[in-house]
Structure 1
Amino acid sequence: MEVFVTPRAERNFDSIVKYISSKWGENTAKEFIHKVDEIFKILKTQPYIGMVETSDIRGFQLSPQTRILYRIRGNKMIILSFFDVRKNPKKKFK
């Protein structure tokens, strides 16, 4: 399965990494990046492991604060967003 990351998800990810780096240091940010890479490997082999958010969007809890939202289209997984679960849930898909 191929993984595609939307520009929005890239911006979310970059923002999270910058925040982690400024708050807890470069090593913690690198650990987060490594964790995301490992989760992508799991999702590529088991794409339906995430919980259904809406009819065609799934979510996977990456950390207590961060959820990955994605869609499966054929043999493609499209990463839509890295969502901070502490934010307003209505903003999840906007």
Structure 2
Amino acid sequence: MQIFVTPRAEKNFDTIVAYINENFGEKTTKLFIKKVDEIFTLLSSYPQMGQTEHNDIKGFQLSPQTKLLYRIRNNKIIILSFFDVRQNPKKKYK
């Protein structure tokens, strides 16, 4: 399955990467990016692996702080958001 990243998810990802780089350095940033790439590879083979979060939205915990939210539509995986789980949970699906 192909993976598509929404502009919102791309912005979330860029913000997280910038934060990690600023606070934890380049090595940790590269590890996070590698982990996301590995999850995308897994998702393309096993799209149902995430837990159902809300209606047809699935989630996958990337780290203790970050959850990946996605939806499957027409043989495509649509990455909706990289969500910081420390935020207000009501923001998760907006």
* Short-chain TM bin: over 0.9
Structure 1 runs of 4+ aligned residues shifted over 6 Å read none
Quote how far apart the aligned CAs of 1:32 are.
0.3
Q: TM-score, normalised by structure 1?
A: 0.98
**Map of 2:69 onto structure 1:** 69
Distance (whole Å) between structure 1 residues aligned to residue 25 and residue 51 of structure 2:
31
Q: TM-score, normalised by structure 2?
A: 0.98
Quote how far apart the aligned CAs of 1:4 are.
0.2
Quote how far apart the aligned CAs of 1:22 are.
0.3
Distance (whole Å) between structure 1 residues aligned to residue 28 and residue 62 of structure 2:
15
Quote how far apart the aligned CAs of 1:89 are.
0.3
Cα RMSD after superposing both structures? 0.5
Distance (whole Å) between structure 2 residues aligned to residue 27 and residue 54 of structure 1:
34
**Map of 1:55 onto structure 2:** 55
**Map of 1:81 onto structure 2:** 81
Gap regions ≥5 residues in structure 2: none
